Structure 1
């Protein structure tokens, strides 16, 4: 069962060097700057439905129409930020937390140029009953399972955003196994509404979900991270990528089952994915992609308010960064100005 949180997968600092080599091997060893017709996208996780838009962009010819003759969708998990910082991939699927951590802690010259999940899918799950976590106030005195990386700091930020003392929470290593929650070993489990919550619910468990985005911690989820060098010197290439992505995700939103089937039968065919779960994820994730966090009708383009809210949330997590250091929405601004029909079709 693949139940590991994407948040945990973004910033394994101790594996940076090794994973950079792995990314190089997966992409054929070439530098993304060497050939503008080659697109290498470092995914954050296995090839499941969370990348339905990429599968649609590839299968429906949008990448090819944008000028990319070779497309490498590189499976994770790996240190995605390192992949783009070193030029081993054109774009990497990061998060606001993962990219901000890499920028501030590792001094990586990267930025987010758009967010697929403009609204994060992070949630604290608990079993229905007397120990259920219905509100952030219920976090006090509870045992919460978290995966490695920055998961604990995000739950602590959720607590601070709601005037709960983080020290009142006991954190337990989750190791990607939700049985720690269903067995009663912990009171809560930090994960994803588009992954673990679906799996638990479909297994017949009565789960209470406390979504972070609706409880004072708006953070961008899956996001396009690129190097500053790519922004400065390969702007047209990135804009072509964004156009193809917008079209691919429009297709995935219009026909979520088609995206799920591509994961099941083509891109992740060898992974033994669960069809029922993948189909549900394809539908559920739409709410995190097309919502009020973006500019009107503009997929991926975070609004000014959303970016400001992200910076405030990151500060609660102990990450001090400015909007200009983390985000660059100018490429999307140009894409939508040059192709206004993309925004109209996304409404």
Structure 2
């Protein structure tokens, strides 16, 4: 082969290598907004950042914390975030109001919401006659379900302000709780409690979902698919070794300490929130039409959603049905 031809071939190879290398480092920037301050329930997403899983799939992901004063849906629809840590009831209600949003994956097969009671309560049916501390958001989500299922009286409800003192002071009270937070605080205070996960009694929504704008799903399906896959692989990794994610969680939320993170992870495993349900056989992140219909039916029966809403617009299974990130 002639020297001039060889030089030309080497030059073309060098140019190709340069562009391949450049494209390898041209990561798609993504902003993911969580629903609360960083905690174990967000571990899979932080793990995907900490271990490079997002980068492996060509993504540069920034996780932004939510909180009590953060309107996540507003931030998503205004284009300030690409994905939102969502909730089925919130998304169905948004669809009813004409907001073009879609759930693309579910980290948890069970909503982590439940009821913390004093130790003399043996089941949720024992709540009759007791005061129940309910947050503002709880009144339009789980409270109608609980009240209807166990024939509770509206007069039993009291305002929950995310302060445990009223519960600790009143042995006849019960309050909403996450097993990993309020229950942890009660244990630290030396109060013996029982915890009832609503999902175990049939409360249907998924937990810690991923929500995107319809336009993102339509115009950037490859980006959505990569974000969902990397996130679910992050959850699998977090359950095996949470140390990388926990370091980032503590950086974002200095009030989160090792003992609470360990407690939170223990509860995620105990209740099989990530790996139970359909995830056990279909993979982490999976969603089904049947589960979404259960949530829709509950909302309609409770007067939380109009019966004629096109509820299937609230989600798509295209990114999780063949994902197969097995526990």
Please give the range of the TM-score, normalised by the shorter of the 2 chains.
Answer: 0.7 to 0.9
Structure 2 residue aligned with 1:315: 300
SS of the residue corresponding to residue 49 of structure 2 reads: helix
Cα separation, partners in 2 of 1:103 and 1:178, compared to 1, 3 Å:
farther
Over the aligned positions, Cα root-mean-square deviation in angstroms equals 2.3
Structure 2 residue aligned with 1:254: 240
SS of the residue corresponding to residue 200 of structure 2 reads: coil
Structure 1 residue aligned with 2:52: 61
Structure 2 residue aligned with 1:14: none
Cα separation, partners in 2 of 1:227 and 1:263, compared to 1, 3 Å:
same
For the 8 Å contact 1:117–1:289, the answer to whether it is kept is yes
Structure 2 residue aligned with 1:79: 71
Mapped to 1, the partners of 2:153 and 2:279 lie a distance apart of 30
For the 8 Å contact 2:108–2:209, the answer to whether it is kept is yes
Match of 1:136 among 124, 127, 131: 124
Q: Give the unaligned 5+ runs of structure 2.
A: 1-25
Residue 46 of structure 1 deviates from its aligned partner by: 1.0
Match of 1:177 among 163, 166, 179: 163
Mapped to 2, the partners of 1:227 and 1:186 lie a distance apart of 44
Structure 2 residue aligned with 1:330: 318
Structure 1 residue aligned with 2:198: 212
Flag the structure with larger Rg: 2
For the 8 Å contact 2:287–2:321, the answer to whether it is kept is no
Structure 2 residue aligned with 1:50: 41
Residue 36 of structure 1 deviates from its aligned partner by: 7.4
Mapped to 1, the partners of 2:275 and 2:94 lie a distance apart of 27
Structure 1 residue aligned with 2:81: 89
Q: Give the unaligned 5+ runs of structure 1.
A: 1-34, 337-341
Q: Tell me the number of residue pairs that the alignment of Structure 1 and Structure 2 aligns.
A: 295
Cα separation, partners in 2 of 1:182 and 1:71, compared to 1, 3 Å:
same
Structure 2 residue aligned with 1:40: 31
Structure 2 residue aligned with 1:278: 261
- 1:145 aligned to 2:133? yes
Mapped to 1, the partners of 2:27 and 2:98 lie a distance apart of 26
Structure 1 residue aligned with 2:14: none
> Superposition pairs for residues 84-233 of structure 1, below 5 Å?
84-104=76-96, 106-129=97-120, 132=121, 134-151=122-139, 153-162=141-150, 164-167=151-154, 169-184=155-170, 187-233=173-219
For the 8 Å contact 2:88–2:205, the answer to whether it is kept is yes
